[in-house]
Structure 1
Amino acid sequence: MEPIHSPILVVDDDSTFLRILGNALGQQQIETLLANNPEEAAQIYQQNKIEYAILDLNLDGLSGLQVLQDLLQHHPDCRALILTGYASITTAVEAMRFGAIDYLCKPASVQEILQKFTSLSAPEKATQTSRSEPESVNDEAFQTMSVKRMEWEHIQKTLAENDGNISATAKALNMHRRTLQRKLQKRPVQN
């Protein structure tokens, strides 16, 4: 694992999680730039060169994907990682489509995060994969989703289509806003 020599921007609206992650990275001799909201994050990445970033997907009702897009406009080579407590296939695909290098569920360990940052870059992986033998397909990876999991995925897809706006998502789903918020607060449903 190659060492990280530049500061990591960490953006999360949970100040306790932000402090703990900042301290954990500091124990690995990694400098951090911490932001509690998109505005603080923008001030940091507009004034500093950012090579690495850890972004929460849901920033106090706003989408971390919007922060990701703006960050990558300022620093196209930044390796940004999305963390979330609300994992779904839809949001993972969206994060990757917007330019994230990967997507991890909270709580993620510092080792997992650093491993994602120091793994091969996407072009290197593509070259390496194209030269290797095709992997065998695992039938377990294609299991049918439960009804609850399909509902979770549909909610996440609709949430992404509405740029993380809870009210617009609830309206699109024909669901009361509070009901949607309760569903989003639950841990993701397993297959």
Structure 2
Amino acid sequence: MNDLSMDFVAEPDQTLLIVDDDKPFLQRIARAMETRGFAVEVAESISDGLTRVQARPPAYAVVDMRLGDGNGLDVIGMLREKRPDAKAVILTGYGNIATAVTAVKLGAIDYLSKPADADDIIRALRQDPTDRATPPENPMSADRVRWEHIQRVYELCERNVSETARRLNMHRRTLQRILAKRAPR
């Protein structure tokens, strides 16, 4: 009698959820990840992403930080609850240290700035957690460090401009102008 369980080799779970409200980017990344062997599901909103995680938690997730209906960190948090072994990457066009730290605390394994390509995403999803990043060749400027600090306090104050300005001992309008500008290099 042939034992079928000995002949069967389970393939690793390659389910991937991509949550992003930029439709062209979402479609491009989904196609690229499918050609690399992933079983891709897409969501264009936080609520849709949460529904999909609730129904079938994927092995991998790529989640945009800011979407029209909320924060991608909510999807990461639920994924961590439903499937602790899942690997998730946060994508954002608004990179700052505070949100990167929060993303990692909630279970993201990496934090990539847009535009990221499929190879960057796969590298992040499949990296060895014991690998250490190499020190930067060009460290942040003093202006960038200041901007990062302001962003961190802003996130800690739950994006309340008045509270952030009070804690930084800064005029509210000055803070609003800083927050409206792009990050310095």
TM-score class, shorter: 0.7 to 0.9
- State the Cα distance separating 1:139 from its structure 2 match: 8.9
Aligned counterpart, 1:32: 40
SS of 2:172's partner is coil
Aligned to 1:172: 164
Residues 77, 15 of structure 1: alpha-carbon distance in 2 compared, 3 angstrom cutoff: same
Is the Cα–Cα contact under 8 Å of residues 170 and 180 in structure 1 kept in the other structure?
no
Aligned counterpart for 1:58 among listed residues 66, 75, 97:
66
Q: Could you tell me how far 1:146 is from its partner in structure 2? A: 2.2
Distance 1:38 1:153, change over 3 A: same
**Separation in structure 2 between the aligned mates of residue 83 and residue 151 of structure 1, nearest angstrom:** 23
| TM-score (norm. length: structure 1) | 0.74
Moved more, 61-70 or 111-120: 61-70
Q: 1:107 aligns with which of 100, 115, 119?
A: 115
Mapping of residues 10-25 of structure 1, within 5 Å: 10-25=18-33
Larger gyration radius, structure 1 or structure 2: 2
Residue matched to 1:117: 125
Check conservation: 1:81, 1:101, Cα contact below 8 A: yes
Contact 2:53 2:78 in 1 (8 A): no
Alignment partners' CA distance in 1, 2:113 and 2:103: 13
Runs of 4+ in structure 1 displaced over 4 angstroms? 137-141
Deviation at 1:47, TM superposition (A): 1.0
Deviation per CA, 1:105-131: give whole Å up to 9, x if none.
1111111111122222x3xx17xx7xx
What is the CA–CA distance in structure 2 between the aligned matches of 1:144 and 1:12, rounded to whole Å?
A: 28
1:161 equivalent in structure 2: 156
Percent of aligned pairs sharing the same letter: 29
Aligned partner of 1:96 among 82, 92, 104: 104
In the alignment, the residues of structure 2 paired with residue 21 and residue 55 of structure 1 have an alpha-carbon distance, to the nearest angstrom, of 12
Choose 9-18 or 151-160, whichever is displaced more. Answer: 151-160
Matched residue SS, 2:108: coil
Mind listing any 5+ residue stretches in structure 1 that lack a counterpart?
Answer: 130-134
Instruction: State how far apart, in whole Å, the 2-side matches of 1:13 and 1:179 are.
Output: 26
TM-score by length of 2: 0.76
Q: How many residues were matched structurally?
A: 169
> Higher relative contact order by CA 8 Å / sep ≥ 6: 1 or 2?
1
Distance in 2, Cα, partners of 1:146 & 1:92: 19
Q: Which residue of 1 aligns with 2:52?
A: 44
